[in-house]
Structure 1
Amino acid sequence: MTTFALIGAGPGLGLATARRFGTAGHAVALVSRDARKLEELAAELARDGIRAHGFAADVLDPASLTTALRDASETLGPIEILQYSPVPRADFMKPVLDTSADDLEAPLSFSVKGPVTAVNAVLPGMRALGRGTLLFVNGGSAVRPHPDRAGTSVAFAAESAYARMLHEALAPENIHAAQLIIPGAIRPDAEHSSPEVLARRLYDLHAERDGFRHYAEPLPD
């Protein structure tokens, strides 16, 4: 059994995606800051017959993230799929004219240093398996910067560049990097952006391994 590692585990998209990969036969490693929430999510997945375990870490703390992913691999089995989809903090979204250089430090750590740390932690295991998938989930500001959300616009664009480079560099090693852009809000009643629909899309990106950037729905005009 290989492991699906979810960075940014929560009760919406995170839980739906964990359930989708878990029902496909993968163990599930849930990673977020809140250990109590992780226990609740793991218990809910266990009721569905999914082997899941929580590993507390903060994506702004590279050492804790590396430790969590190492422990996940040792506890559950080698990580074949990594999904990086933590929810950005509200204070990352200041208007561009109110944004200082210091204001960009945390968003860039969140969306660049975090993914780089996570990928470096799981890549040796994927290479040993001879296969792997790296999934990056971003909002629409990753491809269309928004002047009222400067921090995420800058940081998501940098994360996108990193992920695309991985897509090209790792393809010869049978490791697929893909990005899913979700332009609007994730809502249970949304036709294209409900947690369950998005979870199926993310699983399909892993299974079909077709191209780099995908959209949950078209970007609004």
Structure 2
Amino acid sequence: MSTMAIVGAGPGLGAAVARRFGREGYDIALVARDRHRLDTLVEELAADGVGAHGFPADVRRPEELVAALRAAGETLGPVEVLQYSPVPHRDFMRPVLETGHRDLLGPIEFSVYGPVAAVQQVLPGMRRLGRGTILLVNGGTAAVPHPERTGTSIAFAAESAYGRLLHDRLAREGIHVAQLVIPGAITPGHARKDPAVLAETLWRMHRDRRGFRHYADDLDA
């Protein structure tokens, strides 16, 4: 049985991805801050025949995230697929001229320290398996910076650079690193941004292992 860890798991995209990979036989480790919501999501997934376990952690506290992923590996086996997709806080999105240096701490903790800590924790297990996939999910400011969303524009750019470096370095080891950029909001019923559609896109990215950056929809003009 293979294990997938979803960091930032929630009732939208996280749940849809858990169901999609669960259909392929993956055990799912759900990582998020709220234990109660995790327990509810585990129950809902169990009703759909998906084996999932919750591991509480705040992505802005690297030691918690590392401990959660360590526990996931000990409980379910080495993480073969890691998805890092927490939703940024609204206060990360300040206009550029109103953004001071301290305002960037949260976004950097969220989108740089978090994924680096997560990758460093699961990478040894992937290397032992001889395979793995790391999926980074970001908003449109990862590709086109926005003057009203300074924190995510800067932090997503850094996360993108980290992901690209991993992609280039780890491909030779059978570990695929890819990024999905989702412009705008995840929207139920949308032809390309419905959670189930995005989950299918992420499954194909894992399965097909082609290239680093993928787009869920056209970027805003």
Q: Give the structure-1-normalised TM-score.
A: 0.99
Q: 1:104 corresponds to which residue? A: 104
- For 1:138, what is the secondary structure of its paired residue? strand
Structure 1 residue ranges, 4+ long, deviating more than 6 angstroms after superposition: none
Q: Distance in 2 between matches of 1:125 and 1:44?
A: 28
Contact 2:145 2:153 in 1 (8 A): yes
In 1, the alpha carbon distance for the partners of 2:199 and 2:21 equals: 8
Distance in structure 2 (CA, Å) of the matches to 1:78 and 1:32? 19
Q: What residue is the counterpart of 2:168 in the other structure?
A: 168
SS class of match (1:180): strand
Larger mean Cα displacement after TM superposition, 45-54 or 84-93: 45-54
2: distance between equivalents of 1:187 and 1:13? 10
Distance in structure 2 (CA, Å) of the matches to 1:172 and 1:162:
17
For structure 1, which runs of at least 5 residues remain unmatched after alignment?
none
Deviation at 1:220, TM superposition (A): 2.1
Q: Aligned partners of 2:184, 2:95: CA distance in 1, in Å?
A: 19
Displacement of 1:189: 1.4
User: 2:5 is paired with a residue of what secondary structure?
Assistant: strand
For residues 217 and 146 of structure 2, the distance between their equivalents in structure 1, rounded to whole angstroms, comes to 18
Q: Deviations over 1:139-194 (max 9, x none)?
A: 00001000000000000000000000000000000000000000121111111000
Q: What secondary structure, in the 3-state scheme, does the structure 2 residue paired with 1:5 have?
A: strand
The corresponding residue for 2:206 is 206
- Asked if 1 retains the 8 angstrom alpha-carbon contact of 2:18 and 2:50, the reply is no
- Which stretches in structure 2 are left out of the alignment for 5+ residues? none
- The residue that corresponds to 1:126 in the other structure is 126
Q: Which residue of 2 aligns with 1:157?
A: 157
CA contact (8 A) 2:6 2:28 kept: yes
- For residue 60 of structure 1, report the CA deviation from its aligned partner: 0.6
Q: Secondary structure at the match of 1:137?
A: strand
Cα distance between partner residues in 1 of 2:196 and 2:189: 10
CA distance in 1: counterparts of 2:53 and 2:176, whole angstroms: 25
DSSP 3-state at the match of 1:217: coil
**Structure 1: how far apart are the matches of 2:214 and 2:63?**
31
Residue 30 (structure 1) aligns with: 30
CA RMSD of aligned residues (A): 0.5
Partner Cα distance (1:112, 1:63) in 2 = 14
Residue aligning to 1:40: 40
Matches within 5 A, 1:1-221: 1-221=1-221
1:118 CA displacement: 0.1
* 1:193 partner letter: K
Residues in 2 aligned to 1:159 and 1:198: alpha-carbon distance in whole angstroms:
20
**Which whole-Å CA distance do the structure 1 matches of 2:50 and 2:12 have between them?**
17
Give the paired residue count. Answer: 221
